[in-house]
Amino acid sequence: MIELEGVVERITYYNEENGFTVAKITVKDNDDLITAIGYFHCLEVGEVLKLRGNWTIHKDYGHQFKVEFYETIMPATVRGIENYLASGVIRGIGPTMAKKIVKEFGEKTLEVLSNSPEKLLSVPGIGEKKLKMITESYSQQQETRDIMLFLQEYGIGPNVAVKIYKNYKEKSIQILKQNPYRLADEVYGIGFKTADYIAQKMGMERDSMERLCAGLKYAVVKAADEGHVFMPLEELLYKASELLSVEKEPLNQAFLALEEKKDIVVERAWGREDVYLAAFYYSEKAVARRLFLLAAMIDEPLEITDETINEIEKCCNIRLAKRQREAIEKAAQHGVLVITGGPGTGKTTTIQSLLEFFKKQELKVALAAPTGRAAKRMVETTGVEAKTIHRLLEYNAYEQGGMAFGKNQDDPLDEDVIIVDEMSMVDIILMHHLLSAVRPGARLILVGDKDQLPSVGPGSVLREIIESDKIPVVVLDEIFRQAQESMIIVNAHRINKGYFPYINVKDKDFFFEQVLLPEDILETILEMTKNRLPNYGDFDPLEDIQVITPMKKGLVGVANLNDKLQFLLNPPSRRKKEYHYRACVFREGDKVMQIKNNYDKEVFNGDLGRIVRIDDEDVVIVSFADAWQEREVAYQGQEIEELSLAYALSVHKSQGSEFPVVIMPITTSHYVMLQRNLLYTAVTRAKKLIVLVGTKQALTIAIQNNRSLRRYGHLSDRIIDEFSQAIFRDGSI
């Protein structure tokens, strides 16, 4: 086995799921730049590594060093020190500042930081405020040194070490030695696989109770990530057994231990045993109960007459369809109402009419939506203030990355009517918080398209409320004449019914281009974005055109499309500053998406923005469009991991947004994701034009495949039980 030592210059590829990395490393002594491949955990540019492995030859990429073992050592050379400081480990120091500091102090840089930090004042750009930030951060780094050295034995880099230290401080090593699996529960950004990797390196037995409990809990969490509210017991044991490579028998004891600690709740009902994370169990029960209470405790029904409807039509300058009139009548009578319908069926007009009706009744109304972009659309279409659900509920961040809401059952919203749009995007946890904040007697109106993809979070809330058949539902099913002119809307409904769309109708807005090979599909999408569509309709490639794709991986997956589109639409330039984070380059002018809720910054998963500048301190400033205004949010150091490029989005991430032009690859290489509701959701993201690029075979497969994954959840059953018990007790509701 060969041993090398070198500095990480850049990370070409990093797989977050399993840690597989392709990195460029400058080898000590001869300065050769080599390609190293292997499984690294949170590798950072600037780290100095000692590698053990063997040379291999790849048929496409040539010589590569396959790493079997590695350890991190502190930098000793000027270049190593600069790269280390530039990695963002120390607040206030990025690539630009690192270069200045090392230019001033050379090999004595770390000594200056440790013993004479006041000397940094001689570096241009460092004043008293910046010095304090750097000194405090470096002091923290000194404190984390022991844990970093401790973790090096187990192949764990400084990025993870800092996260561990921030959580446990001086108790870090003690806790790791006792039970490294606590990391998966308690440290954001460290999952079970990383904790298991550390534990195995530390010699923990594969059948230890700590490992079995952590693996079982991870299997439930992973199911939640896939949208399930619970897991059937037998399926959970099977998945955990497979994950941990152990027999089912020893898992039974771990299962009982988790239940005793109340980390999980096991419900034995409906002839089955179902395993919940505690928060999901109590949320699902609470949602069903609150829906019943809101339905049962409504204030007096409001009077509505033909004259009332006529006045609404006159004020809104519209002619209401039969179902829209029904929606207003039921909103007047009931405490909870669901309004659902596809594109072009008048959901927006119905909301406007409801606003006018409640205004005449002198009732106070709140409009809300799950995302900032959806709330902004409500503002644009109604002219009335709308908020994200989080803002409506006055969220508050607290330590350990959690959140609480200012509005809840102890301090409910004072509005008389709450109208929530894009309900298909609301998961079970958010629904629980929303319902907790609606006062008894108030009205709740839920608007959404039941046929779109369900929420990213666990549950199928809208669908299960409708399926319960206990809450009044109005289905808007008439496509209005103006909407009938749009092939986007006509074809969305055809796709939803399982029919092949009308394609390439002259002077219309729905196009399909037959391209067979993924590499040719990629080139076609790039050419369309850059040249063909801007020339066809004067569309701006950055502002108007959005590429949406079913998959994350592959030639026409999110990751590769983002790389290619970034280079095409926002290429490197001396006039544009860049920030390198792992394998990603963020550049001034880039389209980006927030991929994690950040309650401190008031930005949420799915929010889209543009990088407006990167300052001399390597702070990345992103402009986000709020419901009412543009606002700027700053990201520094490891905070950048909350952003991803957004030239291409997954269909799931595009939910709640609309774009003038949508381009979507549709190929059999995305076979597992070719589903009718996914295609339907993608098509309905486009306002003016959609272009599908791929094969008719793939399009046909997607349309015919209506077997979307059924999420495990019992909300519908619980709603039925709540209403049934009320009838049993009282004889009536």
| 3-state secondary structure labels for all residues of 234-281 | HHHHHHHHHHHCCCCHHHHHHHHHHHHCCCEEEEEECCEEEEEEHHHH
Residue 344 marked ligand-binding:
yes
Which fold does the domain 499-704 belong to in CATH?
Rossmann fold (3.40.50)
Residue 56 marked ligand-binding:
no
Q: How many CB atoms lie within 10 A of CB 61?
A: 12
Residue 687 marked ligand-binding:
no
Query: What pLDDT, in 10s, does the model give residues 404-447?
Result: 889 999 999 999 999 999 999 999 999 999 999 999 999 999 99
pLDDT score, position 143: 65
Instruction: Enumerate residue ranges in the chain where pLDDT < 50.
Output: 399-401, 729, 731-733
Question: Are 492 and 531 in contact, with CB atoms under 8 Å apart?
Answer: no
- What are the sequence ranges of the domains in the chain? 2-73, 78-200, 281-479, 499-704
pLDDT score, position 731: 47
Question: Are 48 and 7 in contact, with CB atoms under 8 Å apart?
Answer: yes
Nearest one of 7, 70, 65 to 36, comparing CA atoms: 65
Query: What pLDDT, in 10s, does the model give residues 12-40?
Result: 887 766 668 889 998 887 778 899 998 77
CATH number of 2-73: 2.40.50.140
Residue 215 marked ligand-binding:
no
Long-range contacts of 164-167 (CB under 8 A, 24+ apart): 164/190, 165/140, 167/400
3-state secondary structure 682-694: HHCCEEEEEEEEE
DSSP string, 477-513: -PPPHHHHT-HHHHHHHHHHTTPPPP-S-TTSSEEEE
Nearest one of 176, 178, 211, 208 to 196, comparing CA atoms: 211
Q: How many CB atoms lie within 10 A of CB 109?
A: 21
- Rounded CA-CA distance 363/445 in Å is 14
pTM for this entry: 0.79
Residue 637 marked ligand-binding:
no
β-pair partners for 73: 48
CATH topology identical between 281-479 and 499-704: yes
Which CATH number applies to 281-479: 3.30.390.10, 3.40.50.1970, 3.40.50.300, 3.40.50.2300? 3.40.50.300
Q: What element of type H or E holds 55?
A: strand 48-58
